[in-house]
């Protein structure tokens, strides 16, 4: 899949501070109006829904492969189904509605690495929070997760989250084990909506496991901090960059991002931002864009062409 760099210099020295020094985003007290053929609200709500879906994928991956203990437990000789019936998989079962977790298999060689973990959600697996996941996630783990430099390569087969089809790959590398584990993440994805809207999405991020590492089989106390940026291009030809200005926070017991701020820009000009709130677990976020501030519900994306909006406004 093509990586959408749009003139950005991607390197470890600049990845998490700015897009690059030559094309620094110009801050604006009142955001610019980008030259898009759809509204800013359309771009931002579509992107926020994608980020919400992909974060849920990241959490599923971490749940089954995020710690050495979890990987070893899944690699044990007893089958997942037998252990679930015996009550040894309560930590997973409680995450899924009626305890119907995905089929899990591990391919390994005499206790060594690499190991391949396959999560098969079938036609539909429902989480307790109401999210619907289908298809297959494959995770190739290079080394124990308590090893700096350990990687996980994540790929997808016929995979979707709440009807958003996800393809491509995610690469996760452990870069630090101090003050919570820090993982560098590269996402090279294409996401397709039921209405046919497609977004190509390349991101470099850091995800810090702030709380919950000591309880690998219980997700309710997990807290993740997320920083980084993404470059995107949608099927309407709009290209933009998303940069996390205030660390996003994801909690294991909540379906949504609960805090943090993301800024959107095109051609070096900021055109909007999203604030995810004060830590409350809900699906409400706030868009700031030229001349207005507006609440929206995460996952409900708008798709309105600028021409149609102008015609509607002109007819009033």
**3 in any annotated domain:** no
- Look up the domain containing 289 and give its range: 40-314
**242 in any annotated domain:** yes
pLDDT by residue (tens digit) across 42-77?
Answer: 999 999 999 999 999 998 998 888 777 677 777 665
| Mean of pLDDT values over 216-224 | 76
| Mean of pLDDT values over 142-168 | 96
The secondary structure of residue 7, as a DSSP letter, is: T
**34 in any annotated domain:** no
Least confident interval from 64-73, 101-110, 301-310: 301-310
| Mean of pLDDT values over 258-267 | 97
Are the C-beta atoms of 228 and 205 separated by less than 8 Å?
yes
Most distant pair of Cα atoms in the chain: their distance: 72
**pLDDT at position 3, please?**
39
**235 in any annotated domain:** yes
| Mean of pLDDT values over 7-33 | 48
CA 301 – CA 199 distance, rounded (Å): 13
pLDDT of residue 21 exceeding 70, the answer is no
- Two tokens at 49? 């829904």
pLDDT of residue 267 exceeding 60, the answer is yes
Least confident interval from 55-64, 230-239, 264-273: 55-64
**pLDDT at position 10, please?**
35
- Helices and strands of the chain, counted as H and E runs: 5, 14
Q: Which of 182, 225, 173, 228 is nearest to 205 (CA)?
A: 228
pLDDT of residue 279 exceeding 70, the answer is yes
**pLDDT at position 307, please?**
63
Are the C-beta atoms of 148 and 172 separated by less than 8 Å?
no
92: phi then psi, degrees, rounded to nearest 5: -85, -45
Give me the chain's average pLDDT, please.
83
Count other C-beta atoms under 10 Å from residue 286's C-beta.
14
**29 in any annotated domain:** no
Question: Across the strands, what pairs with 229?
Answer: 204, 243
Least confident interval from 6-10, 43-47, 65-69, 239-243: 6-10
What is the three-state SS of 97-157?
HHHCCCEEEEEEECCEEEEEEEEECCCCEEECCCCEEEEEEEEEECCCCCCCCCEEEEEEE
Are the C-beta atoms of 197 and 46 separated by less than 8 Å?
yes
Number of domains forming the structure of the chain? 1
Are the C-beta atoms of 14 and 8 separated by less than 8 Å?
no
**pLDDT at position 119, please?**
95
Higher pLDDT, 247 or 30: 247
Q: Which of 298, 250, 224, 255 is nearest to 128 (CA)?
A: 255
**pLDDT at position 76, please?**
61
**1 in any annotated domain:** no
- Binned at pLDDT 50, 70 and 90, residue 2 comes out as very low
**14 in any annotated domain:** no
- Binned at pLDDT 50, 70 and 90, residue 86 comes out as very low
**pLDDT at position 272, please?**
97
**271 in any annotated domain:** yes
């Amino acid at each position: 899949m093509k990586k959408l760099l749009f003139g950005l210099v991607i390197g470890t020295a600049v990845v998490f501070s700015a897009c690059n020094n030559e094309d620094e985003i110009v801050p604006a007290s009142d955001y610019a109006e980008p030259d898009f053929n759809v509204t800013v609200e359309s771009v931002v709500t579509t992107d926020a829904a994608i980020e919400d879906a992909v974060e849920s994928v990241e959490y599923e991956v971490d749940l089954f492969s995020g710690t050495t203990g979890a990987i070893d437990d899944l690699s044990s000789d007893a089958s997942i189904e037998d252990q679930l019936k015996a009550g040894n998989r309560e930590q997973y079962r409680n995450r899924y509605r009626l305890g119907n977790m995905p089929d899990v298999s591990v391919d390994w060689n005499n206790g060594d690495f690499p190991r391949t973990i396959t999560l098969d959600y079938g036609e539909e697996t429902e989480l307790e929070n109401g999210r619907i996941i289908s298809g297959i996630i494959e995770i190739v783990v290079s080394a124990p997760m308590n090893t700096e430099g350990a990687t996980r390569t994540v790929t997808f087969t016929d995979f979707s989250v709440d009807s958003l089809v996800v393809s491509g790959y995610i690469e996760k590398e452990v870069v630090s084990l101090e003050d919570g584990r820090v993982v560098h993440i590269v996402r090279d994805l294409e996401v397709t909506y039921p209405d046919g809207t497609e977004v190509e999405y390349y991101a470099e991020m850091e995800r810090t496991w702030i709380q919950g590492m000591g309880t690998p089989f219980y997700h309710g106390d997990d807290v993740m901090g997320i920083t980084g940026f993404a470059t995107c291009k949608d099927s309407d030809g709009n290209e933009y960059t998303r940069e996390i200005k205030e660390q996003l926070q994801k909690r294991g017991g909540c379906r949504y991002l609960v805090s943090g701020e993301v800024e959107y820009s095109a051609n070096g000009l900021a055109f909007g931002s999203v604030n995810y709130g004060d830590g409350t677990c809900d699906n409400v976020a706030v868009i700031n864009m030229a001349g207005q501030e507006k609440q929206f519900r995460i996952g409900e994306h708008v798709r309105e062409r600028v021409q149609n909006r102008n015609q509607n406004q002109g007819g009033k």
